[in-house]
Amino acid sequence: MSKFMPFAGTMLKNLFSKPVTTAYPGQPAVYPERSRGHVDIDIAQCIMCGLCSRNCPPRAITVDRAGGTWTINRFDCVQCGYCAQVCPKKCLTIAPGYQTPGAEKKEAVYQKPTEPEKPAETKKEES
């Protein structure tokens, strides 16, 4: 019988055991405690100092002060966390989980929100 049905034992064992895989996406994915995740930014808090880009080993981050943009190349980023460690405003964090793969997400560009101009203060004329 072993030559006729070589996988019969494995088939019967798998037939009566629990599934090994999870019911994703029905159940949310649980990431291991020490997984690296991905870099996230609170762009409103960013002061565009450029420390993150100068300390990024693969040079995946670029900061454009003049344009007010912060860009990360997701394929080059190794999720080491140096950028989050050196950020003086702590606007960079390592978020758990991973980004959905796709060629259109090669570079993520964040634009610093423009602050509304404050009206000029006028002096009251004393009469």
d(CA 37, CA 98): 5
> pTM for the full model?
0.65
Q: What is the pLDDT of residues 25-72, one digit of tens each?
A: 677 777 777 778 889 999 999 999 999 999 999 999 999 999 999 999
Q: What is the pLDDT of residues 78-118, one digit of tens each?
A: 989 999 999 999 999 998 887 766 667 688 899 988 866 66
- β-pairing, 92-95 vs 38-41, is antiparallel
In 59-81, which positions are buried (b, 16+ CB within 10 angstroms) versus exposed (e)? ebbbbeeeeeebbbebeebebbe
pLDDT at 127 over 70: no
Q: What is the pLDDT of residues 39-50, one digit of tens each?
A: 999 999 999 999
Dihedral, CA of residue 23, residue 29, residue 32 and residue 38, to nearest 10: 150
